[in-house]
Amino acid sequence: MRFLVKVNIPVEAGNAAVKAGKLGAIIQTILADLKPEAVYFTDDNGQRTALIFLDMHDASQIPAIAEPWFLALNASVSVHPVMVPEDLGKAGSAFEDAVSKYG
C-alpha cells in the first residue's frame, strides 16, 4: 500500500546538521534505506520538510521508517495512506455504497 510520509525537521536540529555539514548525508542515507517511490522537499510551518512516497506492506515497518528521522534529526513524522488515480478508480463502489447509506 502506498503511503505519504511527511517529515518535519525542527529548525534548530536542521541548522546544527547544516553547520556540521551533515544534513545532506543524513537525508541521503535514510532515503537509501527507505527506497521511496518519490521524494519532494519543501517548507512547512517554517521547518525543512520532506514528503516521501513509498510502499508499506505492514504496519510493523513504521518504526524502520520513522526512527531514523527521530534519532538523526529530532524530526516529527506523520504517515498517511494515499491513492493514485488507478486506486481511486477502484473505489467507485465505495462511493456508491456511502451515497446509498448516508447520502
- Can you give the pLDDT at residue 41? 98
Domains of the chain, each with CATH number or no CATH? 2-102 (3.30.70.260)
How far is CA 44 from each of CA 10, 13, 77, rounded to the nearest angstrom? Answer: 10, 15, 12
Q: Name the band, by pLDDT with cuts 50, 70 and 90, for residue 92.
A: confident
Q: Name the band, by pLDDT with cuts 50, 70 and 90, for residue 34.
A: very high
- Give the model confidence (pLDDT) of 49-71 as tens digits: 999 999 999 999 999 999 999 99
95 or 29: whose pLDDT is higher?
Answer: 29
- Count how many residues are written for the chain: 103
Query: What residues contact 1, with CB distance under 8 A and at least 6 apart?
Result: 55, 56, 57, 81
Closest CA to 64 of 33, 98, 27: 33
Secondary structure class of 63 (helix, strand, coil): helix
Name the average pLDDT for the chain. Answer: 97
CA 66 to chain centre: 9
Q: Mean per-residue pLDDT for 34-53?
A: 98
